[in-house]
Amino acid sequence: MDLSFNAEERAFQGEVRSFIAKNLTEEMKRATALTPSVFSDPPIGMAWQRALHSRGWGAPGWPVEHGGPDWTPAQRWIFESECARAGVPNVNVMGVKMVGPVIIGFGSPEQKNFFLPRILSGEDYWCQGYSEPGSGSDLSSLKTRAVRDGDDYIINGTKIWTTHAHHANRMFALVRTSDGPRQQDGISFILIDMKTPGITTRPILTIGGDHEVNQVFFDDVRVPVANRVGDEGKGWTYGKYLLEFERGSGIASAKLREGLRAITELAESDLTGRAIDSPDIATRISEVEIDIDALEMTELRVLSALQTGQNPGAVSSILKLRNSEIRQAVTRLGADVIGHDALAVEPMRPLYKLNHESALPEDMLTVVPEYLNGRAYTIFGGTSEIQRDIIAKMMLGI
């Protein structure tokens, strides 16, 4: 594999750097640095999405006919890496990287014409209605039901761990439209306007003290049948397709490398009493760096398939598994590097809006919140146990 850039690719790298320098404000950069989650505060993330859209870069993985930039795999890699190094905000991944590809792959022409431009522009902010109480890893047991009534479905039930539902104006959800011999049968994929009467959102505060996830209740919520993606009862297929994009899209290694770099700088500083001098800390930093190198090579191998709009398939489970495990290793290392200062946790969110003096230097503010938030990495999007099962069945034939 030739990892060197040619002259055209180096010119594109310069173009990306110039764009970032022009459009990434200090507020955006600071807010991103002080965000312990993978989800940016919506005003920050969507401002960046609008800047990308104005340049034609709003959806790097989409086909060009739907607004993608028609990049080569090398250009996609350069863009993602430069964004990670610069510390740009995360866009609404549930729109661009999750429901967008499903609408492109299975949506009607009317759905594509209406929803895709609104995802690109940032006009719509999406959340995901998958998990339910009692239906997490066993998602096919979901019970939220949609009953046909003329040109509408009437939906009753509840979804849980719904990230940013309190910000979102739209949800994509899996609902049960019929009962079949298999749990996976009779599930449909529905697009829901969050302002529809009968929807209630209740906050859930997580271990880090932040309001990121919610429980959403549906009481006789009327949704047009026209908002169903694809065929009725085929939602399980579309949902799995979406999860492959959630687990296997993007370049996680670049952000992991930046996270490790920040922890290494802390370990080398007087703030931590030069924690790097501990043989244990130094060895763990080297081990994580090797793991990131290996993940990077895997990402490079699958980037071409993603660029053509294909779903990544079972290899997405490898990417999800290793990204989750390495992310937790980086955040665990950070907590150990700052030592007893980890006890001074700042409970307020978002951190970039703090209006009082913190007990910790700003470089340390996110270390423990990132560690606490990162405990969920091996759970959301499919637990590590589920990913290993998929790898065993789909790739190893076990």
> Catalytic residue positions?
246
Burial of 324 (0-12, 13-18, 19+ CB in 10 A): buried
Among 125, 112, 162, 103, residue whose Cα is nearest residue 49:
125
Residue pair 192/227 in contact (Cβ under 8 Å)? The answer is yes
State the Rg of the chain over Cα.
21
Q: How far is CA 80 from CA 61, 167, 193, 398, in A?
A: 11, 25, 31, 35
φ, ψ of residue 288 to 5 degrees: the values are -65, -40
* Spacing of C-alpha 254 from chain mean position: 14
81 Ramachandran zone, left/alpha/beta (phi>0; psi -120 to 50) = alpha
101: helix, strand or coil: helix
User: Which tokens in the block code for residue 137?
Assistant: 């890893």
Do you find a cis peptide bond into 350, omega within 30 degrees of 0?
Answer: yes
User: Which tokens in the block code for residue 90?
Assistant: 């995360």
Q: Round to whole Å and give the CA distance between 281 and 177.
A: 53
* Spacing of C-alpha 141 from chain mean position: 24
| Residues forming beta bridges with residue 188, ordered by sequence position | 175
